[in-house]
Amino acid sequence: MAQALLNPETVDKVSAIRDEYVKAYRYMLLARVLDDKYASLYRMGKIHGGVFLGRGQEALSVAVGLALRKGDVFAPLIRDAAGRLAFGETVLDAVRTYLGSALGPMRGRDGNVHRGHPQAGLLPMISHLGAMISVVNGVLLAHRFQKVGQTVGAACIGDGATSTGAFHEALNQAAVERLPLVVVIANNQYAYSTPTSRQFACRSLVEKAAGYGMAGHEVDGTDLGACLSVVGHAVQQARSGAGPQMVVAELLRLCGHGEHDDAGYVDPRLKSSPLGRDCLKVAEAELLRRGWADAAGLASWRSEMVQLVEAAVAQVQREPGPDPYREDWCALASRHLAEGHTYS
Amino acid sequence: MSITYLEAIREAQARALAEDPRVFIYGQDVGAFGGAFKATKNLAQEFPGRVIDSPISEDAMLGLAVGAAISGMRPIIELQFADFSTVAFNQIVNQAATLHWRTKVPCPITVRLPGGGTSGSGPFHSQSLEAVYAHYPGLVVLTPATVEDAYSMLLEAVAIDDPVIFCEHKYLYYHLKAEALPTEAMPVGKARIARTGRDLTLVTYSAMVHEALAVAEELALEGFELEVVDLRSVKPLDTDTVMASVARTGRLLAVGEAWPWGGVTAEVIARVASEGFGLLDAPPQRLNAKDTPVPYHPNLWAVHRPTAHSIAVAARNLLQL
């Protein structure tokens, strides 16, 4: 009966919210399944180098990826598998980079989280924290020159990166140029092992926004609905010309810094606090509570994602790694300016 | 009519802005003020919206340049002094220089570094950093010594699909004049024989070319013919021209204004020694600045870096070996 009293517009709105929530949850689930697979491959010794997971940060990350659209630019960080997938990265690109396939976007020249397609707006991160934000600014400035209308740039960072000079310079720059930048800070309580008490002394990182003359938004990073709403609003504000936006999400990293790290330093009180909730489980409970999915549905989505990931891994494991004898060992685009092989 | 090295840099930027809508200039005080050295004088007025004042944020300036470059623009970044590029170092060597290799996407940026010593400038406004940048893969490092090269190489830098470190020498800004802008130019990557000779090869670049030419003049009065090679670009380094010159003279003196450890002169000597050992009639020699920060006082500064006098002493010694 209650449904019947709603006008058609409200019904459409509710169904749009449900569709977005379900879509977001499915990307979160895919990211979690993918991350779990990386962790298992890492333990089997199948991955060269580090593995960095986004457990506990999927809700925030997916909200960023979904709020962006084609033509926008996205600089994800190490815990953004969900956001990347939602922005359009394929599982194959992700797996190829982790497994060092020559067919992947980085061709074995770079690995794991250092992947992207700059021309599709997905920037490949370097390891130096805060350094990607001003690069997003540059893309947005280029769009302004080229009169590409209403694009937005999002950069994801953690609490640790807010202490860098690069973060400060880039946020100030975006504010001075009034660029449509959305900087999304996942305050996951630890930068590797360093707690926030050793990282900053303000009450909340969002206080920094005012200092730059930009809008600041806070959100519970364990709550998918809140993340979709707050990040979506910030992106919409940037898109409509309101200048740069800062989103600060509070959450807890539910894994080590990398898979080599058992995170024994995490305060158990944080784990049992609301911050320690697993956003994926919270979203599942919400899906069930609202009747947007049932237990069988959730299970079938999970097996769908497992199949997707297993198929990608099986395919990539048959692919060749890079061949050092076919590698051209030339760092320049201008090949005529490259020095010969004589001196190396 | 004559034109200075500094005016040539200004004119090259004006032409790049006029001919290529992808070009813009970003740097501290480059807008209405025209730059700390006036290298962008009137450009903001002539090209509205394309010559942009940046905050004092060298890291973000270069990061912005990378983002713009991969989006189809051709940014020219003016760093007020080469010395301050250390603040932008991360973006230059880790972001800009690795991008094409990692992603196949070119990163065409021109980074103008006003460098080199001038009297009274002291430790933080005098540095010559070409060797530091040449060390990193993925960068092109240019060191023009003449008005003509300042103009033509800056234009070529903007056209190159890679990050270019354009080392312009502040001492030459006002001292060096030419009759007119060049109408043709040697390409980047080719060294120039600035003076021919048969007794000794003096390999150098940037402002030291002029000290070397003065030495060649002086030693000619003593009956020695010095060949002066102006490298023009230190990366790529034109080993062939250097080697051919050493083949003619049998003696090599490499001179640079940068610090002595490693660097361009060491690279030149390493290449000649390993590939052209048999061409040498005497041990190859090198002369650099002293291994201290660049001093402020003119009495100290004049002795800190190589001069015509110290180069002449080194050349005479080498001629007697």
Q: Give per-residue pLDDT as tens, A258-300.
A: 999 999 999 999 999 999 999 999 999 999 999 999 999 999 9
Q: How many CB atoms lie within 10 A of CB B270?
A: 13
Q: What is the pLDDT of residue A1?
A: 44
Q: Identify the residue among A114, A115, A145, A212 best suited for mutation to test binding to B, counting B beta carbons within 10 A and taking the highest.
A: A145
CB-based contacts of B18, cutoff 8 Å, min separation 6: B47
Inter-chain CB proximity B64 and A138 less than 8 Å: yes
Residue A18 CB contacts under 8 Å (≥ 6 apart), including other chains: A290, A292
Fold classification of A2-321 is Rossmann fold (3.40.50)
Q: Quote helix, strand, coil % in chain B, to nearest 5.
A: 40, 15, 40
Q: What's the one-letter identity of residue B84?
A: F
Interface test with B, best of A97, A141, A152 (most B CBs within 10 A): A141
CATH number listed for the domain at residues B3-178: 3.40.50.970
Predicted pLDDT of residue B178: 96
Q: State how far the Cα of A137 lies from the Cα of A183, in Å rounded to an integer.
A: 11
- pLDDT over 70, % of chain B: 100
List chain A residues with CB under 8 Å of B99: 118
The CATH architecture annotation of domain B192-320 reads 3-Layer(aba) Sandwich (3.40)
**Distance (Å, whole) CA A8 – CA A3:** 10
Q: What are phi and psi of A112, to 5 degrees?
A: 40, -115
Per-residue pLDDT tens digits for B26-35: 999 999 999 9
B60–A137 C-beta distance less than 8 A: yes
Identify the closest residue of chain B to A108 by CA–CA distance.
B102
Q: Tell me which amino acid residue B37 is.
A: F
Strand partners, B111: B77, B165
Report CA A274 to chain centroid distance, whole Å. 22
Q: CA nearest B24 in A: which residue?
A: A145
Categorize the per-residue pLDDT at B69 as very low, low, confident or very high, splitting at 50, 70 and 90. Answer: very high
Report which of A85, A245, A88, A79 is spatially closest to residue A153, judged by C-alpha positions: A245
What whole-number percentage of chain B has pLDDT above 90?
Answer: 98
pLDDT-based confidence at residue A4 (cuts at 50, 70, 90)? low
Structure confidence by residue, pLDDT tens digits, B231-288: 999 999 999 999 999 999 999 999 999 999 999 999 999 999 999 999 999 999 999 9
**Interface check A339 vs B, CB under 8 A:** yes
Instruction: Name the residue in chain B with its Cα closest to that of A344.
Output: B271
Q: For residue A334, which residues of chain B lie inside 8 Å, CB to CB? A: 140, 160-162
A308: distance to nearest CA of chain B, Å? 26
Cβ–Cβ gap A172/B237 under 8 Å: no
* Distance between CA atoms of residues A270 and B207, nearest Å: 62
Q: B-contacting residues of A 161-190, CB under 8 Å? A: 165-166, 169-170, 172-173, 176
Contact between residue B284 and residue B269 where contact means Cβ atoms under 8 Å apart = yes
The Cα–Cα gap between A23 and A79 comes to: 19
- Tell me the count of A-B CB pairs closer than 8 A: 149
Tell me, what's the pLDDT at A3? 53
Structure tokens at A150: 């209403």
> With 60 as the cut, is the pLDDT of residue A342 above it?
no
CA–CA min distance B137, chain A (Å): 6
How is residue A300 written in tokens? 């079938």
Closest in B71, B97, B102 to A143, CB measured: B71
Cβ–Cβ gap A124/B102 under 8 Å: yes
- Which residues of chain A neighbour B95 with C-beta distances below 8 Å? 126, 128, 131, 135
- Give the catalytic positions of B in this structure: 58, 125
CA dist A52 and B295 (Å) reads 47
User: What are the DSSP E strand ranges found in chain A?
Assistant: 73-75, 153-158, 181-187, 190-191, 194-195, 215-220, 245-250
Among B24, B102, B231, the residue to mutate for chain A (most A Cβ within 10 A):
B102
The pLDDT of residue A112 is: 95
pLDDT at B166 over 60: yes
Question: Which residues have C-beta within 8 Å of that of residue A90, sequence separation ≥ 6?
Answer: none
CA distance linking residue A234 with residue B192, whole number of Å? 56
A261 touches chain B (CB under 8 A): no
Q: What is the pLDDT of residue B102?
A: 97
- Distance, in Å, from the CA atom of A182 to the CA atom of A65, rounded to the nearest integer, reads 12
pLDDT value for A10: 83
Does B70 score more than 80 pLDDT?
yes
Following DSSP, what letter does each residue of A188-227 receive, concatenated?
Answer: -SEETTEEGGGT--SS-TTHHHHHHT-EEEEEETT-HHHH
**Can you give the residue ranges of every domain in chain A?**
2-321
pLDDT confidence band for A7 (50 / 70 / 90):
confident
Interface of A with B in 278-297 (CB under 8 A): none
Per residue in B294-313, pLDDT (tens digit) is 999 999 999 999 999 999 99
Show residues of chain B in contact with A127, CB under 8 Å: 94
Structure tokens at B135: 């060390």
pLDDT in tens, A193-227: 999 999 999 999 999 999 999 999 999 999 999 99
In this complex, the residue of B57, B72, B160 whose CB is nearest that of residue A334 is: B160
Is residue A11's pLDDT more than 90?
A: no
Residue A9 pLDDT? 83
Q: How far is CA A96 from CA A43, A114, A307, A315, A329, in A?
A: 18, 12, 17, 9, 21
Q: Is the Cβ of A122 closer than 8 Å to some Cβ of chain B? A: no
pLDDT tens for each residue of B89-133: 999 999 999 999 999 999 999 999 999 998 899 999 999 999 999
In chain B, where the domains are located: 3-178, 192-320
- Chain-centroid distance of CA A254 in Å reads 15
- B25: Cα separation from own chain's centroid: 19
For residue B226, give the nearest of B206, B209, B207 by alpha carbon: B209
- Reply yes or no on whether the pLDDT at A40 is more than 50: yes
Compute the distance between CA of residue A339 and CA of residue B240 in angstroms, rounded to an integer: 12
Mutate to test the interface with A, among B74, B94, B101, B267 (most CBs of A within 10 A): B101
The 3-state DSSP class for residue B252 equals: strand
Amino acid at B74: R
Average pLDDT, stretch B194-216? 98
- The chain-wide mean pLDDT, for chain A, equals 95
The set of residues, in sequence order, having a beta carbon less than 8 Å from that of B264 and lying 6+ positions away, is B130, B131, B134, B205, B231, B234, B237, B254, B256, B258
Q: State residue A48's pLDDT score.
A: 93
Q: Across the interface, do A141 and B100 touch by the CB < 8 Å criterion?
A: no
